[in-house]
Amino acid sequence: MKQYSFEKLQVWQDCRALVKRIYILTSKFPEDEKFGLISQLRRAGVSIISNIAEGSSRTSPKDKANFYTIAYSSLMEVVSQLIISNDLDYIQQDDYMALRDEIYPISFKINALHNATKDNNQG
């Protein structure tokens, strides 16, 4: 099976694992959060990998950088929503900390993609 370029990116693979984990964790949230935090966390997570995929397919460095910026912003949405979920005791402290530890290197990888694209644009 042919792989697309975004599937080969380690950051996309890391984000894919993060999204899976978000789906598993949010499946245990209260039912009344179905259209609240559950939906928001899942959409923000999917937005991360979707924007990395879309950015990787763009030919213009400016377009690529824009999609990587959106991916990073969606990652920050996830962090914010996880903080709220932890505050509300929807996720245990251990799970919260593990997710934070998983997100931290992803944020650097997305920034590296963005910066490499920007540097490529300036050359």
Residue by residue, what is the 3-state secondary structure of the chain? CCCCHHHHCHHHHHHHHHHHHHHHHHCCCCHHHCCCHHHHHHHHHHHHHHHHHHHHHCCCHHHHHHHHHHHHHHHHHHHHHHHHHHHCCCCCHHHHHHHHHHHHHHHHHHHHHHHHHHHHHHC
> What tens digit of pLDDT does each residue of 26-83 get?
999 999 999 999 999 999 999 999 999 999 999 999 999 999 999 999 999 999 999 9
Q: For residue 121, which amino acid is it?
A: N
Angstrom distance (rounded) from CA 119 to CA 25: 37
Q: What is the pTM of this model?
A: 0.93
Q: Is 48 exposed, middle or buried (0-12, 13-18, 19+ CB in 10 A)?
A: buried
Domains along the chain with CATH numbers: 30-122 (1.20.1440.60)
Angstrom distance (rounded) from CA 32 to CA 61: 42
Q: Does residue 11 register a pLDDT over 50?
A: yes
pLDDT, residue 123, reads 47
Cα angle value 100/106/107 (rounded, 5°): 85
Closest CA to 48 of 76, 25, 80, 83: 76
